[in-house]
Structure 1
Amino acid sequence: MILPVQGRTLKNDEWTPLIDLMLEGEQIVLTTHENSDGDGLGSEVALALVLKALGKEVSILNPTHVPPNYRFLMDSFQITHFDPSSEEAVAEVTLADVLVLLDANLHDRMGSLWPHVEFARELGGMKVLCIDHHLEPEDFADMMVCENYASSAGELVYDLLRALRERLRQEVFTPAVAEALYVAIMTDTGSFRFPKTSPYVYRIAGDLVERGADAALVYDRIYNSLTPPALKLLGLALTSISILDDGDISWLFISQEMLRLTGSKLFDTDLIVSYLLSVPSVRLAVLMVEMKDGRTKASFRSRGSVWVNQLAKKYGGGGHMNAAGCLFPFSSDKAQKVLLDDVRLFLKNPESFSS
């Protein structure tokens, strides 16, 4: 198992154990976390295209649907929503030799896939591989590359494919692969403005553009594709933001009623959280969304050395230093009260939340 190390880039030979396991498989399933984003989806598509070109039977099965602004990635490779009630879908998982989880390092982020993955490991010896860049990985995979220096899972997949190219002595970066990786890296770096956007990341982006990624088109497809319902939700949300505690905290709760009134969907909330840090005084931003099943999703963003992954960890979540999230298994009323008390305590005494 390769553990996180800050401030470096993996060398080609450090990818060898994972490449060995991946190449030994004939039937390979790729997946990412629930409520998938550009990093997970782009990384999946890039890796799937390369493995298919190498003659592998490859499928992408995800626990939730692809958001509309990322569906153009399916022009390059089919992404299927895993239906646990489908015998065909279950068989596709249980008969696979290798499963690769991208952009997540906790087994429960696989949602409805995980019980079938467990069964496949017991039944036929499926190998589970994990490629991720978040903090505090869970030790559940047969081989895990979890490097939190990386800006994105896409950065790691880029390095993996460079190592694979050297190993096989053949080119693997087609224009479609380059564009999928550009999606992954561009979105998870906030269009190259987040702190982990190192000089190396800019060099990767330049290389991917040279190899065929259309940077302007990718940006337009992802960020200029709001549906009318999503735009209505954004307008309603912006009027509902609360600034608390002398400007330290920004707070927004989106109810099922707000989603119903605007005709919007859960994935339409993803772009809203960035607005919560637009007030310069805000140190910690919280977006809470009421789920259909009664649970409550919380997303955290922060400035400076406010390690919101420690706050998320208290509730079984995780993420990055300045971007994290969790899922409360109880009502939104209770979740809001509990979380606001803890956010205030966390800002006053963050050490009390450290593990």
Structure 2
Amino acid sequence: MITPEYGRTLTPEEWQPVVDEMLAASHILLSTHENSDGDGLGSQVALAIVLRALGKEVVIINPTIVPPNYVFLTDFYDIKVFRDRNEEDIQEIFLADLLVVLDANLHDRIGNLWPHVEFAREMGKLRLLCIDHHLDPEDFADLTICETYASSTGELVGDLIAAIELKTGKKLCTSDAASALYAAIMTDTGSFRFPKTTPYTYRLAGKLVEKGADPEMVYDFIYNSLTPESLKLLGLSLTNIRILDDGLISWLFISQEMLEETGSKLFDTDLIIRYLLSVPTVRVAVLMVEMQDGRAKVSFRSRGKIHVNRLAGHYGGGGHMNAAGCLLKMSAEKAQRVVLEDVRKFTRENLNV
């Protein structure tokens, strides 16, 4: 496992073990975490385009569907959704000699793929790589590169592609690959405003534009393509936001009833949490969404040096210092009481109030 210190990037030499694995493989699968986002999807698509240009058979197969605002990425490369009981999908895993998990450093983040991946590895053929930038990586792959100070997995994949180009002597990053990587980096940096957006991040984004990335198109698809249902959910959600503890905490619970009333889906909740941090006094924001099975999915956001990944980790989740999440193993009704109490205690301890 390679985890370099802050303020540097991996060199082509440090990427060499990953490059060697990819060049040696013939049938490569790429996957990312459940409820995929721009970073995982953009990184997948860019890497798939590059590997296909090298003559590899490359399949992107994910545990959950592509959210509507990222569907434009499928114009660059096809993205399959894994069906647990579908023989064709299962066969894809057993035909592969390399699986690359992107933007996820815990094995259960790839959901219903994992049991089949585990069995394929036991058969002795499938190699597993993990490329990620989140905290607290799990040692589940044959080779893991987790640079926790990188702004995004897309930033890492940009460096990996450069290392592949150097090794092969070929220019492989097309305009489509550049746009996909730009989407990855833009979304995980909050449009280049989050703390880990370094000068190197801006330089890489500039290089991607030089290679043909279209920032206007990417931004428009991701942030200006809301459905009428998601707008209805946003309106209903804004009226239900609670500001607590002298303005330090913002809290929003979205019930299945709210989703049904507006005709919206789980992925329609993803853009709402940004509004919870829009109040200047708020230091911790919590978005809790009731799932169909009665459990709750929770997203945490914070300002400053409040490590909400520790809060998420308490419930078996994880993420970044200022952005993390988890899927609770309790009912949404119970979670509203338990999590709110924990968030209040956590916030007081971190702010010494």
TM-score where L is the length of structure 2? 0.98
RMSD: 1.2
- Please tell me whether the aligned partners of residues 4 and 10 of structure 2 are also in contact (alpha carbons under 8 angstroms): no
**What is the 5 A alignment of 1:236-251?**
236-251=236-251
Which residue in the other structure is 2:87 paired with? 87
1:252-311: per-residue Cα shift (whole Å, max 9, x none)? 000010000000000000000000000111010000000112221000000001000000
Which residue in the other structure is 2:256 paired with? 256
Long gaps (5+) in structure 2: none
Which residue in the other structure is 2:12 paired with? 12
Q: How many angstroms apart in 2 are the aligned matches of 1:4 and 1:107?
A: 22
Q: How many angstroms apart in 1 are the aligned matches of 2:3 and 2:198?
A: 20
Which residue in the other structure is 2:230 paired with? 230
Give, as a single letter, the amino acid of the residue that structure 1 aligns with 2:201: V
Compute the displacement of 1:7 (Å).
2.4
Q: How many angstroms apart in 2 are the aligned matches of 1:149 and 1:158?
A: 15
Matched, 1:286 2:283: no
Please identify runs of 4+ aligned residues in structure 1 that moved more than 3 A: none
Compute the displacement of 1:22 (Å).
1.7
Give, as a single letter, the amino acid of the residue that structure 2 aligns with 1:207: K
Q: How many angstroms apart in 2 are the aligned matches of 1:57 and 1:91?
A: 14
Which residue in the other structure is 2:73 paired with? 73
Which residue in the other structure is 1:275 paired with? 275
Which residue in the other structure is 1:33 paired with? 33
Which residue in the other structure is 2:337 paired with? 337
Compute the displacement of 1:125 (Å).
2.7
1:296-332: per-residue Cα shift (whole Å, max 9, x none)? 1000000001000000000010000100000102210
Which residue in the other structure is 1:98 paired with? 98
SS at match of 2:21: helix
Compute the displacement of 1:18 (Å).
1.1
Long gaps (5+) in structure 1: none
Q: How many angstroms apart in 2 are the aligned matches of 1:86 and 1:293?
A: 23
- Please tell me whether the aligned partners of residues 95 and 120 of structure 1 are also in contact (alpha carbons under 8 angstroms): no
**What is the 5 A alignment of 1:118-197?**
118-197=118-197
1:60-119: per-residue Cα shift (whole Å, max 9, x none)? 000000001110111110001100110000110122100000011010000000001100
Matched, 1:47 2:47: yes
Q: How many angstroms apart in 2 are the aligned matches of 1:56 and 1:347?
A: 49
Q: How many angstroms apart in 1 are the aligned matches of 2:283 and 2:299?
A: 14
Compute the displacement of 1:4 (Å).
5.1
Q: How many angstroms apart in 2 are the aligned matches of 1:218 and 1:125?
A: 38
Give, as a single letter, the amino acid of the residue that structure 2 aligns with 1:43: S
Q: How many angstroms apart in 1 are the aligned matches of 2:273 and 2:85?
A: 33
Which residue in the other structure is 1:208 paired with? 208
Compute the displacement of 1:344 (Å).
1.2
- Please tell me whether the aligned partners of residues 288 and 297 of structure 1 are also in contact (alpha carbons under 8 angstroms): yes
Give, as a single letter, the amino acid of the residue that structure 2 aligns with 1:72: F
- Please tell me whether the aligned partners of residues 61 and 79 of structure 2 are also in contact (alpha carbons under 8 angstroms): yes
Q: How many angstroms apart in 2 are the aligned matches of 1:3 and 1:149?
A: 9
Equivalenced residues, count: 352
SS at match of 1:321: coil
SS at match of 2:123: helix
SS at match of 2:180: helix
- Please tell me whether the aligned partners of residues 296 and 330 of structure 2 are also in contact (alpha carbons under 8 angstroms): yes
TM-score where L is the length of structure 1? 0.97
Does 226-235 or 333-342 show the bigger shift? 333-342
Q: How many angstroms apart in 2 are the aligned matches of 1:91 and 1:72?
A: 27
Q: How many angstroms apart in 1 are the aligned matches of 2:290 and 2:154?
A: 30
SS at match of 1:324: strand
SS at match of 1:274: helix
Identity %: 67
